[in-house]
Chains A and B, each alone.
Chain A
Amino acid sequence: MWWGLVRRLLIFLVSTAVASVVVFVLLTLVGDPARTALGTNATPEALAEMRHRMGLDRPVTTQFASWIGGMVHGDFGTSYVTHLPIGPQIGARLAVTMWLVAGGMAVALVVAIPMGTIAALKHRTWAGWLLSSLSQVGIAVPAFLAGILMVALVSVELGWLPSGGFVVPAEDPGGFLARMILPWLSLGLVQGAVLARYVRSAVLDEVGQDYLRTARAKGLTRWRATWRHGLRNAAIPVLTVIGVQLVTILIGAVVVERVFVIPGIGSYLVDSVARQDRLAVQGIVVTIVAISLAVSFVVDVAYTVIDPRLRRR
C-alpha cells in the first residue's frame, strides 16, 4: 500500500513538472510582453531596454530556471503589466473559486446521489424514467446557459436575488449566500445531472449482485441492503467521475465566473490573457494544472480508503 502511495505521489510530481515545462514553452512562443507593456508607440531602443529589464534577453533555459525556482518557493514573480506580485493574487482568486467549486459540488452530490439511486432502484417505473429524462435534459444544458437563464428569471424578472458579484463571507454572510446561490445552482445542477447518470448505472450494476441477495437473506430490507453494501461498492466508479467532475467544475467556473461577475481564478486567467500578462497566465495555468493533478491523486488515495481490497495490492 505504501509503495502504491509513493508511486502515485511520484506520478503527481512528474506530471506537474512536465506540465509547467509545456506551459512555459507554449507561452514563450507567443507575443512580446515588452511590446505589450510599452504600448503602441514604443521605440526600438525602449523595447530593447524593457526586454532587458524583464530578463527576456536571457537564454530561455535561464528564464525557465528562474521562474520555476521562484515558484517552488511560492514566488510567482511580479507581473510585467500590472507591476504587482502574482502569487498573492492567485491565492486570493483561488479562495473565491474554491467557494464556488465546493458549493457547486455539494449541490451536484445532493442532486445526483438520491436521484441516481432512485432512478436505479425504480428503473422500471415511471419515476425512474422521469428522473433519467430529467438528468438527460440537465446534461444537454451548459452551465453558463443555465446561469444566464436563472439570472434573467430570478434576478431581473422576480428580483429575488442579486444578479452577480461577490462579497467575502466573513464580512457579510447573508450577502455572500444570496450572491452564491445562483452560481452554485448553475454549476451544481448541470454537474449533478451528469453525475446522476453514473450513480444510476453504478447502482444498477450492483443491485443484481449475489452479495446483496445474501444481505437480504440475512434479513435486511431491500433499501437497507442497498444502503449498507450496495452504495459502498457503487461509490468506486462514482468517485472516479467525481474527481473528473471537480476538475470540470474548476474549469467550468471560468465561464460561470464571467456570467456572475465573480473574481475567481477563472476571471483572473481571462483578464490576464486579455492584457497579455504572460507571467500571470503561466502562474495561473500551472496552478490549475497542479490542482487538477492533485485532485486525481486524492481520488486515487480515496479508493484505497473506501475499498479495503485495494490496500492488499
Chain B
Amino acid sequence: MTLLVAGCSAGSGLTGSSSATSGAAQTGTEIAQSSTDAGTGGAASSTVGASSTQPSGPMPSDGTLKLGLVLAPASMDFTTTDGAAIPQVLLGNVYETLVTQAQDGTIQPGLAEKWTVSDDGRTYDFTIRSGVTFSDGTPFSAADAAFSIDYVKTKWTVGVAKAMDAVVSATAVSPTELKVVLGEPNNLWLFKMTTRIGAMMSAQHVDSLATEAIGTGPFVVSDWQQDQSVTLTRNDSYWGAPALEKTIVFTYFSDPTAMNNALLTGDIQVITTVQTPQALSQFEDTSKYTIIDGTTNGKVMMTMNDARPPLNDVRVRQAINYALDKDAIVKAAWAGYGTPIGSHEVPTDPWYVDLADRYPHDVAKAKQLLADAGQTNLTLRLALPPVPYAAAAAPVIVSQLAQAGITVQTSDVTFDNWLGKIFAPPYDFDLTIINHVEQYDVTTVFSGKPDYYTQYTNPEVTKLETEGLAADHDTFIADFRKVVTILADDAAAAWLWAFPNLMVADATVHGLPENAIGESLNVAGLYTD
C-alpha cells in the first residue's frame, strides 16, 4: 500500500556497519516469547511452539474474492525489482519466511518452529518445520533456507538486500537445523527476516523468478496479467491451515475513481488502499460497506535539508514546527484520518514516545525564534513529488508558514527527478513532503551521519543507534527512545501524521488485517458470509 513507490521503501543502513560495542551480552536461556518483545524478537532468545491456526469459525470455501490495489507489480521477481507492490502480493501468500510478524508486531514462528540465540547474540539456531513442501512438490529443508539467505547476499540487486550483509554464514546442519552466524549482534536482524529478504525460495526456480513464483505458502500464482491482475489459487498441499477462499484476485487500478466505482458496482469486494479519503462518504452505509481505519508504518513528513542554510540552524527548524498546526493539516489533507506524530516513529513502534505535542501550534513563538536566528524575511522552496498526500498537504502548509512570515515557493517534481536530485546527491532542496513507509527505518533516515538526503548530522544519535542495535533488549529500547526524542528536540524534520491503513470492504467480507504490518497483504484468512 505504498503511495511512495520505490522511493522510501529504500534499503536499510541498519546492518553491516554496527561497530563492536556488544557490551551487554544477551541472554542465552530459552524463555518463552513474551508479547512485550514487541517486534524486536531478535533481542530475546525464544523458543516458541505450535503454529497459529485459523479461528475455528469459518470453513474453507470455493469462493472468489477480488481486491482492488493501486500499484501493480512490474515483475514477479522482488530480488531484482524494487518497490512494495511485489512483496505485497507474494510475501506470506506465496513465499513464506522463517519467522513472521503478528498484528501486534511480535515475532512469531513461520517455517522455523523455534529458534535460539547464543549468549553473544551472534549465532541463531533455527529448527526448521518438517513436512513442508514447495508448491512444485519438492520438500523444503534447512538447505533451501541456507541457499535463500546466501542468494540474498550474492544475487539480489535491490537495496534492501544490504540488510543480509549482517550474516557471515548460513549452514544447514541437518535437514531440520539451520545455523546462522552474524558478524555482530543485531537487534533488528530477526525482524528483517520477516520482510521480503527472508523469503524462502527453491534453488531450482530462481532462474525464472520474473514470471514464476514457487514458494511454500498457502497460495500459488495461477495467473498474472501484467498491470492488470494477479490471481492466487489455494495451495491444496499447504502444510498449515488452508486458505479460506479458493481464489483471490488482486486487481490493479491506476485511477482512484475507477476503483471506487468497481466496488460500488460489485466488480471488486475490497479497496485495499483509499487514495482519496474525502471520497469515503459514498461508502458510509454500514449495512453495505465496512471502513477499516488501522495503522501502517508510514510516516508522512516534511523533510528539511538539515545541512543547508538557514535550515542548518535548529531555531529555524523549530520555528517551522511551531508554525505548523498538524491537526489542521491532517484534517484538510487526509480528511482527519491518521495520527499526528512528532518524531520519526509511529505509535506501534516498540520505542514509541508520544512527541506529537513537542511543538504546539504557536505563531508568536515561531516568529520569535526566526527573529533570534536573524531570519525575519525567509523564503524556502518546497518540492512536491507526485503523491496525493503531498499535493493535499502543501496548500495548508504554505498558508500556515506564511502566517509566521515564511514565504514558501512550491514546485512539482517528477518522481525521477525527486529520486535523482533530492533523494540522491546533490540533495537540491529545502523542503519536500514524503511518506517513509518502511518499518523501523529511523536508523536509515536519521543515522546521524550525512549519508542520507535528510542530511542530519549528530554523532550522539549515531552512537545511540549503533550501541542500541547490539545491546540487550531493554538498553536497545531505551537508546532508541532517546534517539527519537533527540530528533524531535533538534526538529530534524517536520513530521506530520502517521499514515493510516484505510480500506473499504463489502460488508460480507471478513478477516481483513486491521493494521498494515510489514510488507505483505496476507489474504489466507479472508472469507465472505
B72 interfacial by beta-carbon distance below 8 Å = yes
| Residue on A nearest B261 in the bound complex, by CB | A163
Q: Is the interface of B mostly helix, strand, loop or mixed?
A: loop
CB B86 to nearest CB in A, in angstroms, measures 11
**Contact (Cβ within 8 A) A41 B228:** no
A294 interfacial by beta-carbon distance below 8 Å = no
* Cα A83 to Cα B420 with chains together (Å): 23
B residues near A277, Cβ cutoff 8 Å? 74
* Cα A89 to Cα B255 with chains together (Å): 21
- List residues of B (422-446) whose CB comes within 8 Å of A's CBs: 423-424
- List residues of B (217-250) whose CB comes within 8 Å of A's CBs: 225-228
**Contact (Cβ within 8 A) A84 B82:** no
**Contact (Cβ within 8 A) B261 A263:** no
Using A37-B81, A89-B226 as known contacts, say yes or no to A30 and B416 having CB atoms under 8 A apart. yes
**Contact (Cβ within 8 A) B420 A35:** yes
Tell me how many residues of A have a C-beta within 8 Å of chain B. Answer: 41
| Residue on A nearest B6 in the bound complex, by CB | A39
B254 interfacial by beta-carbon distance below 8 Å = yes
Residue from B8, B158, B257 in contact with A38 in the complex, judged by beta carbons closer than 8 Å: B158
* Cα A42 to Cα B82 with chains together (Å): 11
Residue from A39, A42, A159, A164 in contact with B83 in the complex, judged by beta carbons closer than 8 Å: A39
A71 interfacial by beta-carbon distance below 8 Å = no
Q: Which of A46, A50, A84 has the most CB of B within 10 A?
A: A84
- List residues of A (255-297) whose CB comes within 8 Å of B's CBs: 258-261, 263, 267-268, 270-271, 274-277
**Contact (Cβ within 8 A) B416 A84:** no
A162 interfacial by beta-carbon distance below 8 Å = yes
- List residues of A (67-89) whose CB comes within 8 Å of B's CBs: 81-84, 89
Residue from A81, A155, A260, A268 in contact with B75 in the complex, judged by beta carbons closer than 8 Å: A81
* Cα A30 to Cα B6 with chains together (Å): 19
**Contact (Cβ within 8 A) B258 A259:** yes
* Cα A258 to Cα B77 with chains together (Å): 26
Interface string of B198-214 (1 = CB under 8 A from A): 00000000000011000
**Contact (Cβ within 8 A) A38 B258:** no
A residues near B157, Cβ cutoff 8 Å? 37-38, 42, 46, 50
* Cα A30 to Cα B420 with chains together (Å): 11
B162 interfacial by beta-carbon distance below 8 Å = yes
B residues near A42, Cβ cutoff 8 Å? 157, 159
CB A150 to nearest CB in B, in angstroms, measures 11
**Contact (Cβ within 8 A) B210 A163:** no
A residues near B255, Cβ cutoff 8 Å? 258-259, 261
* Cα A159 to Cα B217 with chains together (Å): 38
Residue from B72, B74, B267 in contact with A164 in the complex, judged by beta carbons closer than 8 Å: B267
Residue from B75, B261, B423 in contact with A84 in the complex, judged by beta carbons closer than 8 Å: B75
**Contact (Cβ within 8 A) B419 A40:** yes
A residues near B258, Cβ cutoff 8 Å? 163-164, 258-261
* Cα A39 to Cα B225 with chains together (Å): 23
* Cα A275 to Cα B466 with chains together (Å): 35
Residue from A36, A81, A163, A258 in contact with B265 in the complex, judged by beta carbons closer than 8 Å: A163
B80 interfacial by beta-carbon distance below 8 Å = yes
**Contact (Cβ within 8 A) B10 A40:** yes
Interface string of B1-36 (1 = CB under 8 A from A): 000001110110000000000000000000000000
| Residue on A nearest B7 in the bound complex, by CB | A40
**Contact (Cβ within 8 A) A156 B261:** yes
Residue from A41, A261, A276 in contact with B253 in the complex, judged by beta carbons closer than 8 Å: A261
Residue from A38, A82, A163 in contact with B226 in the complex, judged by beta carbons closer than 8 Å: A82
* Cα A162 to Cα B264 with chains together (Å): 10
Using A83-B77, A261-B253 as known contacts, say yes or no to A38 and B159 having CB atoms under 8 A apart. yes
| Residue on A nearest B11 in the bound complex, by CB | A41
**Contact (Cβ within 8 A) B265 A162:** yes
- List residues of A (131-182) whose CB comes within 8 Å of B's CBs: 148, 151-152, 155-156, 159, 162-165
A residues near B257, Cβ cutoff 8 Å? 148, 259
B residues near A156, Cβ cutoff 8 Å? 261, 264-265
A31 interfacial by beta-carbon distance below 8 Å = yes
Interface string of B260-298 (1 = CB under 8 A from A): 011011010000000000000000000000000000000
A residues near B253, Cβ cutoff 8 Å? 261
A307 interfacial by beta-carbon distance below 8 Å = no
A205 interfacial by beta-carbon distance below 8 Å = no
**Contact (Cβ within 8 A) A163 B264:** yes
A residues near B210, Cβ cutoff 8 Å? 82-84
Residue from A35, A39, A89, A164 in contact with B158 in the complex, judged by beta carbons closer than 8 Å: A39
* Cα A286 to Cα B143 with chains together (Å): 48
A57 interfacial by beta-carbon distance below 8 Å = no
| Residue on B nearest A262 in the bound complex, by CB | B228
A residues near B8, Cβ cutoff 8 Å? 40
CB B276 to nearest CB in A, in angstroms, measures 14
| Residue on B nearest A89 in the bound complex, by CB | B226
B residues near A258, Cβ cutoff 8 Å? 254-255, 258
Q: Which of B11, B211, B264, B424 has the most CB of A within 10 A?
A: B264
* Cα A271 to Cα B262 with chains together (Å): 20
* Cα A49 to Cα B210 with chains together (Å): 20
CB A153 to nearest CB in B, in angstroms, measures 11
| Residue on B nearest A38 in the bound complex, by CB | B157
**Contact (Cβ within 8 A) A151 B74:** no
* Cα A263 to Cα B254 with chains together (Å): 11
* Cα A81 to Cα B74 with chains together (Å): 7
Interface string of B55-85 (1 = CB under 8 A from A): 0000000000000000010110100111100
* Cα A30 to Cα B414 with chains together (Å): 12
* Cα A275 to Cα B253 with chains together (Å): 15
**Contact (Cβ within 8 A) A263 B11:** no
Interface string of A16-49 (1 = CB under 8 A from B): 0000000000000011100111111110001000
Q: Which of A35, A275, A277 has the most CB of B within 10 A?
A: A275
* Cα A270 to Cα B416 with chains together (Å): 15
**Contact (Cβ within 8 A) B162 A41:** yes
| Residue on B nearest A159 in the bound complex, by CB | B265
* Cα A37 to Cα B77 with chains together (Å): 12
* Cα A270 to Cα B81 with chains together (Å): 19
A residues near B262, Cβ cutoff 8 Å? 163-165, 261
**Contact (Cβ within 8 A) B74 A38:** no
* Cα A162 to Cα B80 with chains together (Å): 37
**Contact (Cβ within 8 A) A39 B10:** yes
| Residue on A nearest B77 in the bound complex, by CB | A83
CB A295 to nearest CB in B, in angstroms, measures 26
| Residue on A nearest B268 in the bound complex, by CB | A165
* Cα A128 to Cα B296 with chains together (Å): 61
Q: Which of B210, B228, B258 has the most CB of A within 10 A?
A: B258
* Cα A297 to Cα B132 with chains together (Å): 62
**Contact (Cβ within 8 A) B72 A271:** yes
* Cα A46 to Cα B158 with chains together (Å): 10
B residues near A164, Cβ cutoff 8 Å? 258, 261-262, 267
CB A281 to nearest CB in B, in angstroms, measures 12
| Residue on A nearest B211 in the bound complex, by CB | A84
**Contact (Cβ within 8 A) A32 B420:** yes
10 pairs from A and B in contact (CB 8 Å cutoff)? A31-B416, A37-B82, A40-B423, A84-B226, A148-B257, A156-B264, A163-B262, A164-B267, A259-B257, A260-B258
Q: Which residues of A contact B (CB under 8 A)?
A: 30-32, 35-42, 46, 50, 81-84, 89, 148, 151-152, 155-156, 159, 162-165, 258-261, 263, 267-268, 270-271, 274-277
Using A164-B262, A274-B254 as known contacts, list a sample of 11 further A-B pairs with CB atoms less than 8 Å apart, ordered by residue number in A.
A39-B158, A40-B7, A40-B11, A40-B423, A50-B157, A89-B226, A155-B265, A156-B264, A163-B267, A260-B258, A263-B228
A-B pairs, top 8 by smallest CB distance, nearest first, are: A41-B159, A39-B82, A41-B11, A83-B210, A163-B261, A40-B10, A163-B265, A82-B75
